[in-house]
Amino acid sequence: MQGSIPILRIGKTLITTVHVELRDDVAQAFQSDVLATIEKTGASGLVMDISALDTVDTYVARILAETGRMAKLMGTTSVLVGMRPEVASTLVQMGYTMDGVLTALNLESGLRLLGQQLVTVAK
């Protein structure tokens, strides 16, 4: 599909980098792809990297937050990483909070956070 978002698997973790501006239909397809890939691979963790996005409106924010919550229902912990300062500022000003989604500054700290979360869950 044109503009689709690749999903990489490393061990039990899925990493997806949203590298293009998300059209509404692509955002919707992204959500379905991620959930289908979780089912197929049995991934225990999901990292969504949005550092390439310089604008995130409430539609895309909702898709991302929903994807995280859906993954959680399936038993997969997810972390949203790399939100740019101007995106964070815009979302908060609009009154949009990404409830129920773990966040980290960048991919590296996101993977670390995911590791900690999964250790806690395993205990």
Alpha carbons within 13 A on the beta-carbon side of 83: 22
Per CB under 8 A, contacts with another protein among 54-93 are 54-59, 62, 84-87, 89-90, 93
Of 94, 105, 115, 121, which lies in the binding site for another protein, with binding defined by CB under 8 A? 94
CB of 111 to another protein, least distance (A): 26
Smallest gap, in angstroms, from Cβ of residue 4 to another protein? 15
Of 74 and 92, nearer to another protein (C-beta) is: 92
Site for another protein in 16-45 (CB under 8 A): 21, 23-25
Residues that bind another protein (CB under 8 A): 21, 23-25, 54-59, 62, 84-87, 89-90, 93-96
